[in-house]
Every structure is written in structure tokens, then in C-alpha cells.
Chain A
Amino acid sequence: MHPAPSVIVFTVLSGLGFGFLAFLGAAFVQPAGWTAFLLWGLGYALAVGGLLASTFHLGNPQRAWRAMSQWRTSWLSREGVMAIATLLMLAPVALSDWLGLGWSRLPGVIGAIMALVTVFTTSMIYAQLKTVPRWNHWVTPAMFLCFALAGGAILALPRWPALALVVVMGLALVLSWSIGDRRFAEVGQTMGKATGLDRIGKPSIFDPAHTAGNYLLHEMIHIVGRKHVARLRVLALIFAVVLPALALALLPGAVLPRAVAAVAYLIGAFAARWLFFAQAEHVVGLYYGKR
């Protein structure tokens, strides 16, 4: 699949934002005054920034509000609804922390759960697609949730619990690769089944349907850069897992380890998410003899 920058930025930033907001809402950190303003502001900026980035790849972004309407069947719609509802639910808690109003923290706890549900709905946009076997597996939501929790933990939790969540995220990432690599073969779609011509023999491409590119080839059949997969996976692991873990374990102070770990996490998460799209193969490629 085409690794559109807007979708990579969306899933990484809003995942991190909602992970952080979940920890803030559930009062794992209880900032006050302007510290609260800055931390809640960071959480909201990441979550909202990601959501806004997701509209950049739309053909008609001015109609994006309509995407809230079909929550009964559409995971994309559910994601939009959950994201907005979560941001609204957490708003009074953020306000109370900032201005010292002492309001109930109950909406924070509910909002924390909703933030994780939002990340789950984001992952289901991809995991629901039978047409992309690599994504169509429970490991996709597991991996998205681990990224959100680990990212949030880097920003919100004490160093050792954060380090533990980063390691769990690393395991989820490696698991998603090892399961993902087998999925296309497991699902067993072939050019023969796609065309039904396996009835009479083994089909191969005789002549392409068109010699120029089209939307399908550009959007679903992205083969550029797959040759660097092994190197990118190592880089993703180093930046998303190893460097944050080392920073959390070794660097002194309260802010420095978090800042270094967060920057490394973002670089690693962008690399991992780029691979998530670039490596995903859509069954429509079978008609073109390309994956």
C-alpha cells in the first residue's frame, strides 16, 4: 500500500497523543497550574494534530465532518466519533488540573478508557480489511495499542514502568512482522483465484491491461523501497525500542530521559509505520501480477 505521509503522521501522532491523554486522564501524573496546561496541551496537540493530518490525503477535505455519521458500520467513522468524544470527555479534567478547580476525576478515568478505544478503532480501520492480509489480524490492534501505551508511558510514567512498556511494544512490533510476513500466503489468494482461471490452468500475465499507471497501481501496489525492509526494521527497533530503553534506564534527571526517549520513539515509530504501509500487499495486485 502507498505509505502516504499524512496517514503515517496521523496514526503515529494521534496514537502517541491518545496514549499520553489516557495516562493523564487516569491520573498517573497529576500536574497542576501551567505544568498541567503544557502537558495536557501537548496531549491535545498530538491527538488533534494527528487527526488534522489525516484530512490532508482526502480528495475533498472540506466535507470531513461527514465522516462522523456512519458509526454503525464504518471503523473510520467510529474512529472519528470516538476521537472527538474522548477529547470532549477529557476537557473538564484538563481544565480542572490547569486552574485547580478540584472537579471530579471520574471523566478522566472514563476518558482514559475511551482514549484507548480510540486507538483501537484507528487500528481497526486497517485490521478490518480482508483485502490486505498483513493487516487483517489481531496483531494489528495489539501493535497499535502497544505503541500508544509505550509512547504515552515515555511521557507520563516513571522510568521503569515506561521502560517495561517500551520493551512490550518492541515485542509486539517484532510479532507483527513475523505474523505479517506469513499472512499473504496463509490467506491463499492467487492470480488463479482472482481471475477464476485456475479452472483451466495456471494463469500468467500475457499483456498488461494498461501501460500507464493508474490509481490502483499507485495506491495499492507500492513496491518502491521494499528492498530496504531489513535495514528499516533494524532502524525502527533501534529508534523505537533500544534508544528509548537506554535513555530511560541511564540518563539522569526527570525531563532529559523522557525527551530523548520521546524523540527516538517518534523516529522509530515513523519508520515502523512507513513499513506497515509500504510492506502491506493488496490482493488486487494479483490481477496485475504484482504485489
Chain B
Amino acid sequence: MKIIVCVKQVPDAKDVRLDPKTNTLARDGVQSIMNPYDRHALEEAVRLKEKHGGMVTVVSMGPPQAEVMLREAVSCGADEVVLVSDRAFAGADTWATTYTLSMAIRKLDDFDLILCGKQAIDGDTAQVGPGLAERLQVPFVAYVRKIRECDGKAMQVERLMDDGYDLLEVPLPALFTVVKEINEPRIPSLKGKMKAKGIEITVFNASDIEADPEQLGLKGSPTQVVRVFSPELKGERAMLAGSADEQVAQLYEKLSPLL
């Protein structure tokens, strides 16, 4: 089974600060990590490989520094890693990102499955997974919490919902985004770390993936960020006192104008 995992390098959420002047993320001196949901996607891919055989290819679009994260992916079981990196990609929104990633993935061998985290913890859009599936014209399932069965042609998966889960059978190739409930990611192994040290990282630039320059980076991004700001907290708080019956009566009185 050939599995592709898309991962993103993000600032460590434990260490997030906003630049008070620009209201953008202050990235200086902030530790970069693999997006935590992507870590679960990678773990699931490695487990599928261990069970069914095959190969796990990790793809990331990002600056050259993302190499550190890609080596970490190898230490956790990835077989090969591809960095999609070019100055022309800078400023991409999710539209341009899915275009770029889809062009890169077309350059790779055929795949049976693509796994992504359900969203990245920096942008929080949750759009790249579904967008990429659309670009590649494969079936898509979000919030996968369990892969039950796989016969090589189709997969049975559980999709996490607010009030339970959906059980879906999906023909392959397909793309799933996963939630953290799907597994417990492993800690890198010693042999994995030694392999990661020596592995060659394939780098694709804009011409390698034969991309249309108009659809890349800021130029190819319809999203325009006008202003970023922290919302002001305006909620009012009231404490009710008295017996339970009295409190219910007070609450009813407060709510009744809204009914």
C-alpha cells in the first residue's frame, strides 16, 4: 500500500505570541514542531504499512527549515520525504497550497491513500485536506477516528461526529483527515533516528512540479488578510443566588424576553 502523508511545520502552541504592532504571529525564537494532528496521520500511515506492507511518503510544503521536521518523520517510520519549497510559494492561502501540493503529488508515484491531520494548529482552517482531495479528484472523509478494515480496494472508516460516529466504506485511492483519537503517536526509535540522519530529502521547486506561476503563492491566493485582531471580551456575567427553585425562577425571568 502506498500512503502519502501531508505534514506542516507550525509554531509550538505552548509558545505563541502575537506581535502587538502587526497582530501577526511573532515567529522569532519560537520553536517549530510538526503539526500535532499531522503526527497522528503519520502514525496511522506507519501502522497501516506495518500491517499491510508498503511505503509511507511524507510531503510538506514549506521553507527549507522544514527539513528538521521531515527528518523527525523518518525517525517515526516514514520511508521517504519530499519538501516542496520555493520562494514562489510564499504567502499561499489554502487555495494556492492545495494547488501546489496537488501538483507535487502528481509528480510522485500513484498512491492508495493520502492522510492529513484534520487541521493545522496555526491557521486552523481545516481546508487543505478537503481542498487537496478535490484537486486530485479522490473521495474524501474528514475527522476519521478509526480505520477498521482495508482489503486494498476499499477502506472502512469511522468518522467522528458530535453525537457518535459514522461508519463509511470508501473506495481507494482516497484522502482522509484524522482526529487525535485515532491513535497515540510513537516516540522516535533509535534506529529511526539513525536512518533519519542519513536520509536524502527530495526537494521540489516550482518548475519541478510544472506549476502555473499565476496559481502560486500570494499571487494565486484569493484570500486577502485585511486585519488581524484579538476579539474583545464583551460577555456579561451574572451569578444567581438562593434556593434551586428561586434560581430557576430568576433564570426564567432573565431568559423570557429572549423567547
Tell whether A pairs with B.
no
Binding site for B on A (CB under 8 A): none
